[in-house]
C-alpha cells in the first residue's frame, strides 16, 4: 500500500547517508513460540544471529493493525501539529544528541505507567490502542526470555523476566515512520538510510513492522542482508545487556533501516530494559568452571549514559571489555 505522507523536514537531507540495496536473506530463523523445541531453537538463533522471527506469538492482529493505523494518522498530521508533541517524545531526522541523522520521524515513550506520556500526546492519537499493544508485547517479552532461560538452563527461569517485570524497569516503546522519498533517491540510485547501523543497548527488542521492507542485519562475516518483512510476525533482537549477561554467548545484532522509494515503513519496537540501578554482569550459571567474565561490571544507568553520549554506530560494549580496559 502506498501511503502519501508529509516527510520529515528536508534541511538534514545532505547529511543523511545512502547505500545500495542488499540481497534478501532467506536464512532468518523462524520460530513457532508453541513449538516444543522453541527453547532450543531460540538459544541457537541468538547464538548464531542474535535475531529471529517469531510466529504463533499470541498477540492479536487487531492490536497491531489498529496501532499502525493510529500511528499513520498521527504522522500524516501537518508538521506544525506534530511538533507540538515534541515535549512528549516526538522527533524527526535527529537520532540522539551526537550528530546522527536519518530519514525518520518517531514517537519515543517510557512504558512505565508512572512515566508514560502518550495520553497527552495528541487528541488524535488513541491511547488505548497503544496501551493494548504495549501490554500484549510486554507479556510476550516476559514469555520469550523465560523460554530462553529454559533453553540456557538458567534457574530460576525468571532471572531475566524479573528485570522486565520490575516496576522500575527502564523499558521503552518506539514508533518509527520512514516516509518514501523518490525524488532524492532517484538522484543517486541508492536508498536513504532511515536509521543508521547500531545495536540495541537493552536486554531484548521486539519489533513489528508493516509489509514494507527496509530492515537489514549484519551477519558474523560483516555482510549486510535484507530481512523480508512480515506484518503478522515479530522480530526479536538480542541487546547489549543480554550479550554481557550471557558472557558473549548470545550476541547483540547490528542492524539498520533503509527507506523505500515509494512506500512508507512503520515499525513498532518494544525495548525491554532493566531498572537503572541493576548491575549488568555475566550470570555465573552460564559460565564454565574457571571461565572469567569478558566484561567489567556496570549498572544499566552507566551503560545507558554511555550509549546516550556515543555516536549511533559506536561499539559501546568495547569500552566495557576487560581486555580493552587492561590495555589502557
Give the span between the Cα atoms of 301 and 299, in whole angstroms: 5
**Mutual angle of helices 127-152 and 38-48, in 10-degree steps:** 90
Let me know if residue 65 belongs to a domain: yes
Task: Flag whether pLDDT at 327 surpasses 90.
Answer: no
Domain contains 41: yes
Of all residues in the chain, what percent carry a pLDDT higher than 90? 71
CATH of the domain at 294: 2.60.120.330
Per-residue confidence band for 187, with pLDDT thresholds at 50, 70 and 90: low
pLDDT digits (tens, 9 = 90+) for 211-220: 999 999 999 9
Cell numbers placing 305: 549514559
Flag whether 324 is in a domain.
Answer: no
Q: 188 pLDDT band (50/70/90 cuts)?
A: low
Q: Assess if residue 173 is contained within a domain.
A: yes
SS3 190: coil
Using only the alpha carbons of the chain, give its radius of gyration: 19
Buried/exposed code over 306-326 (b: 16+ C-beta within 10 A; e: otherwise): bbeebebebebbebbbeeeee
Please report whether residue 7 resides in a domain.
no
pLDDT digits over 168-184, tens only?
Answer: 999 999 999 999 877 66
pLDDT, the chain, mean: 88
Of all residues in the chain, the percent with pLDDT exceeding 70 is 87
Q: How far is residue 112's CA from residue 168's CA, in Å, rounded to a whole number?
A: 7
The answer to whether 191 and 242 are in contact (CB under 8 A) is no
Which residue reads 536513504 in cell numbers? 192
pLDDT at 239 over 70: yes
Residue 29 has pLDDT above 50, yes or no: yes
Judge whether 239 lies within some domain: yes
Q: What is the pLDDT of residues 268-317, one digit of tens each?
A: 999 999 999 999 999 999 999 899 999 999 999 999 999 999 999 999 99
In a domain, 19, yes or no: yes
Q: Once rounded to an integer, what is the mean pLDDT over residues 236-255?
A: 98
- Does position 3 have pLDDT exceeding 50, yes or no? no
What per-residue confidence (pLDDT) applies to 183? Answer: 67
**What whole-number distance in Å separates Cα of residue 173 and Cα of residue 111?**
6
Residues 103-127 pLDDT 10s: 999 998 888 765 555 554 545 455 6
Type and span of the H or E element at 236: strand 234-238
What is the model's pLDDT at position 23? 85
Q: What is the pLDDT of residue 122?
A: 47
Would you say residue 156 lies in a domain? Answer: yes
pLDDT of residue 17: 81
Q: Provide the pLDDT for residue 185.
A: 58
By annotation, the residues acting in catalysis are 265
What is the CB neighbour count within 10 angstroms for residue 198? 21
Count of domains observed in the chain: 1
Domain hosting 85: range is 12-317
CA dihedral 106, 111, 114, 119 (to 10 degrees): 40
Amino acid at each position: 500500500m502506498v501511503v502519501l505522507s508529509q516527510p520529515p523536514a528536508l534541511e538534514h537531507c545532505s547529511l543523511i547517508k545512502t547505500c545500495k540495496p542488499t540481497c534478501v536473506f532467506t536464512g532468518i530463523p523462524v520460530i513457532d513460540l508453541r513449538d516444543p523445541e522453541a527453547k532450543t531453537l531460540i538459544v541457537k538463533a541468538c547464538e548464531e544471529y542474535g535475531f529471529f522471527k517469531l510466529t504463533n506469538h499470541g498477540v492479536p492482529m487487531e492490536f497491531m493493525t489498529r496501532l499502525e493505523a493510529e500511528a499513520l494518522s498521527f504522522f500524516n498530521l501537518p508538521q506544525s501539529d506534530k511538533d507540538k508533541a515534541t515535549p512528549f517524545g516526538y522527533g524527526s531526522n535527529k537520532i540522539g544528541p551526537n550528530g546522527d541523522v536519518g530519514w525518520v520521524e518517531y514517537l519515543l515513550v517510557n512504558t512505565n505507567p508512572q512515566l508514560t506520556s502518550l495520553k497527552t500526546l495528541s487528541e488524535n492519537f488513541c491511547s488505548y490502542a497503544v496501551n493494548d499493544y504495549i501490554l500484549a508485547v510486554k507479556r510476550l517479552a516476559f514469555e520469550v526470555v523465560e523460554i530462553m532461560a529454559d533453553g540456557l538452563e538458567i534457574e530460576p527461569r525468571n532471572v531475566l523476566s524479573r528485570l522486565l517485570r520490575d516496576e522500575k524497569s527502564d523499558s521503552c516503546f518506539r514508533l518509527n515512520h520512514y516516509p518514501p522519498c523518490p525524488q532524492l533517491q532517484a538522484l543517486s540510485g541508492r536508498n536513504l538510510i532511515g536509521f543508521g547501523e547500531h545495536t540495541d543497548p537493552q536486554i531484548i527488542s521486539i519489533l513489528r513492522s508493516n509489509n514494507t521492507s527496509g530492515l537489514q542485519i549484519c551477519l558474523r562475516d560483516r555482510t549486510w542482508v535484507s530481512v523480508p518483512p512480515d506484518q503478522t510476525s515479530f522480530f526479536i533482537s538480542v541487546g547489549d545487556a543480554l550479550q554481557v549477561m550471557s558472557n558473549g554467548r548470545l550476541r547483540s545484532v547490528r542492524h539498520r533501516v533503509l527507506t523505500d522509494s515509494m512506500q512508507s515503513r512503520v515499525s513498532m519496537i518494544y525495548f525491554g530494559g532493566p531498572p537503572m540501578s541493576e548491575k549488568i554482569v555475566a550470570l555465573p550459571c552460564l559460565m564454565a568452571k574457571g571461565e572469567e567474565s569478558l566484561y567489567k561490571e556496570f549498572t544499566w544507568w552507566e551503560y545507558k549514559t554511555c550509549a546516550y553520549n556515543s555516536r549511533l554506530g559506536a561499539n559501546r560494549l568495547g569500552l566495557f571489555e576487560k581486555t580493552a580496559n587492561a590495555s589502557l
